[in-house]
Amino acid sequence: MTEPDEEMCRALVERLCSGLGWSVRPAPAVRYVLFDRTGRWLTFGQSMAWLVASLCDRSCSGMLPAWMQGCSSPEELALKAEVAL
């Protein structure tokens, strides 16, 4: 499987932000930090592809909405987002 491109990941993060009230902001040592609507950070990285990949990581699944938990790939996450949002 190939890694999803930055453009696809940016579109997915933008969709998650608009649908869930999340936001992406820079931090001093990191290009992107993804925050939930309460201001709690969910993940961070140097690219949008990194953000999306980390949302599929099982270690952060407890902080995500139930429909996002258990996504095994960025493609699966994108499909679930299309249905849920």
At 24-76, the pLDDT tens digits run 999 889 999 999 999 999 999 999 999 999 998 766 667 888 888 888 888 99
Total-model pTM = 0.86
Tell me the one-letter amino acid at 55: L
Q: Which residue has the tokens 């980390």?
A: 54
| Domain ranges across the chain | 6-77
Crossing angle, helix 48-55 and helix 6-20, to 10 degrees?
Answer: 60
Inter-CA distances, 60 with 7, 52, 57, Å: 23, 12, 6
Burial of 3 (0-12, 13-18, 19+ CB in 10 A): exposed
